[in-house]
């Protein structure tokens, strides 16, 4: 079946090199969350060249942007991301070789995500012009999805309030509409302040901030037995002292607390803090807590998922050539034994998919939604308006997430093919929504039913600022 949005599809094909160039520029820049200034500038320039009105620096974030074209209703939002991950820098080759030693890399493919959404909006714009369709397209450039909840700050600023619906996608392993929710999450720094001393000469004069961190961690480990099995707590020690023979006067750990609902996170968050306060008492140190971000779980929308599913059927899966297949064959040799099998352990996919090198078919939606395992600030958008998302195959089956292998594929033809397919799916879905008013009405009806009419309220205080200092540049 041919795509209905023929003008959009043709334009995306025509602009394939431009879309790919945007992706590759962002891939090479590999900027971490809240510091994606050059990546945002690349997108802003490309959007302006296509006739969009761009506002940079929204919601108190220099790398956040909104690009608008058209007028009137309906208003369709498209979410783009472009933040990279620390420590996974990699050249676009199938063996481990860093592009920048110790640098960041697109180990989650957000360069593809941002550029794919760009391709969708410029394609949909051409379709609307060709058919003289009313409506407004908004591209949201969203920083720091990986760690600091950029979309939550944008939602708090009311940027999604006039959207009738929002669509997004994510580079993945399968060509599939994602019908699952996500885990809400709150992250924070816990810092202890003690007193230095010579660790051997007069340790009794010291009060170890590192001891307090270790005791907090021990408390959390015991807490795990008494929390919901669906909840998660992770932490890393970002400052444990300077050298072993000095009792550390300051130590910090970065914590994530996750659960299916934000209300559950809030309760568990307080219990983690109690572990920290107890550790402070035991070590005679002072405890300081710094909230970094807090985001909601995703609210699925079946109506919009159906639209995306049908659009995927019309567009079809990504097409991979010999070069991409050869690259994937070499890359999978670097996977740990059992990696691919572990991926399929809980996956609800047809048996024929398991024998594929790269998923080149459309995978039906699971009979029951997958259990949420990760978190995304798309959740906050989904509490503002009906929102749906999907994945396309941008890496070989079994590719570990947040890995150098993922980074490698995000910078070459495998990722490019999945990105172009995603752009076409979103443009096709956007056209369907624009020309079928009942879709928006039904999507909003489901949205109200799922939220119970509850208005969005950001989980962060009104005066809370983005954590620009946490990762640095």
**What is the domain partition of the chain in residue ranges?**
6-182+297-451, 184-295
- The pLDDT of 284-300, averaged and rounded, is 97
pTM of the model: 0.96
pLDDT band at 1 (very low <50, low <70, confident <90, very high): very low
Q: Which of 399, 390, 391, 389 is nearest to 358 (CA)?
A: 399
Separation CA 124–CA 167 (nearest Å): 13
- Answer yes or no: are the C-beta atoms of 342 and 282 closer than 8 Å: no
Separation CA 199–CA 310 (nearest Å): 66
Please, what CATH class does the domain formed by 6-182+297-451 belong to? alpha beta
Q: Which residues of 268-299 are buried (b: 16+ CB within 10 A; e: fewer)?
A: bbeebbebbeebbeebebebeeeebbbbbbbb
Interval 435-448: pLDDT, tens: 998 999 999 999 99
Name which residue leads in pLDDT, 414 or 340.
414
Q: Specify whether domain 184-295 bears CATH 3.30.70.360.
A: yes
Separation CA 74–CA 54 (nearest Å): 19
Q: What pLDDT, on the 0 to 100 scale, is given for residue 373?
A: 84
Interval 11-54: pLDDT, tens: 999 999 999 999 999 999 999 999 999 999 999 999 999 999 99
Q: Is the pLDDT of residue 62 over 80?
A: yes
Percent share of the chain, pLDDT over 90 = 92
Residue 357: exposure state from Cβ atoms within 10 A (0-12, 13-18, ≥19): middle
Interval 121-174: pLDDT, tens: 999 999 999 999 999 999 999 999 999 999 999 999 999 999 999 999 999 999
Q: Is the pLDDT of residue 429 over 50?
A: yes
Q: What pLDDT, on the 0 to 100 scale, is given for residue 473?
A: 56
Q: What pLDDT, on the 0 to 100 scale, is given for residue 180?
A: 83
Interval 176-234: pLDDT, tens: 998 889 999 999 999 999 999 999 999 999 999 999 999 999 999 999 999 999 999 99
Q: What pLDDT, on the 0 to 100 scale, is given for residue 312?
A: 97
């Amino acid at each position: 079946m041919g795509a209905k949005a023929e003008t959009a599809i043709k334009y995306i094909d025509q602009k394939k090199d431009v879309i790919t160039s945007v992706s590759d520029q962002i891939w090479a820049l590999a900027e971490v969350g809240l510091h994606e200034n050059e990546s945002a500038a690349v997108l802003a320039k490309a959007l302006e060249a296509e006739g969009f009105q761009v506002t940079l620096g929204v919601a108190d974030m220099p790398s956040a942007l909104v690009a608008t074209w058209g007028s009137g209703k309906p208003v369709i939002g498209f979410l783009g991301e472009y933040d990279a991950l620390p420590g996974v820098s990699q050249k676009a080759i199938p063996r481990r070789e860093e592009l920048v030693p110790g640098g960041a890399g697109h180990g989650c493919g957000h360069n593809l995500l941002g550029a794919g959404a760009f391709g969708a909006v410029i394609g949909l714009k051409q379709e609307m012009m060709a058919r003289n369709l009313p409506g407004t397209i908004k591209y949201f450039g969203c920083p720091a999805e990986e760690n600091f909840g950029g979309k939550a700050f944008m939602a708090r600023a009311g940027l999604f309030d006039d959207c009738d619906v929002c669509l997004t996608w994510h580079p993945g392993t399968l060509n599939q509409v994602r019908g699952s929710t996500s885990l809400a999450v709150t992250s924070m720094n816990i810092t202890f302040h003690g007193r230095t001393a010579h660790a051997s000469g007069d340790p009794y004069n010291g009060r170890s901030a590192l001891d307090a961190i270790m005791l907090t961690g021990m408390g959390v480990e015991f807490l795990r037995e008494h929390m919901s099995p669906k909840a998660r707590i992770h932490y890393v020690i970002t400052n444990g002292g300077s050298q072993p023979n000095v009792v550390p006067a300051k130590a910090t750990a970065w914590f994530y607390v996750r659960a299916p609902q934000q209300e559950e996170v809030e309760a568990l968050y307080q219990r983690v803090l109690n572990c920290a306060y107890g550790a402070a008492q035991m070590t005679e140190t002072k405890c300081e807590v710094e909230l970094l971000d807090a985001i909601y779980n995703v609210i699925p929308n079946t109506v919009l998922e159906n639209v995306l599913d049908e659009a995927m059927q019309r567009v079809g899966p990504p097409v991979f050539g010999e070069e991409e297949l050869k690259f994937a064959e070499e890359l999978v040799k670097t996977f740990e034994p059992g990696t691919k099998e572990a991926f399929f352990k809980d996956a609800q996919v047809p048996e024929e998919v398991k024998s594929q090198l790269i998923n080149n078919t459309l995978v039906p939606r699971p009979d029951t939604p997958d259990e949420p395992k990760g978190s995304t600030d798309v959740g906050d958008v989904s509490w503002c308006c009906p929102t749906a998302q999907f994945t396309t195959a941008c890496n070989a089956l079994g590719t570990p997430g947040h890995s150098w292998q993922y980074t490698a594929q995000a910078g070459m033809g495998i990722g490019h093919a999945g990105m172009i397919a995603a752009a076409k799916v979103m443009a096709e879905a956007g056209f369907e929504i624009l020309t079928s008013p009942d879709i928006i009405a039904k999507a909003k009806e489901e949205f109200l039913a799922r939220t119970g009419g509850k208005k969005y309220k950001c989980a962060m205080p009104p005066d809370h600022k983005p954590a620009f200092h946490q990762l640095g540049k």
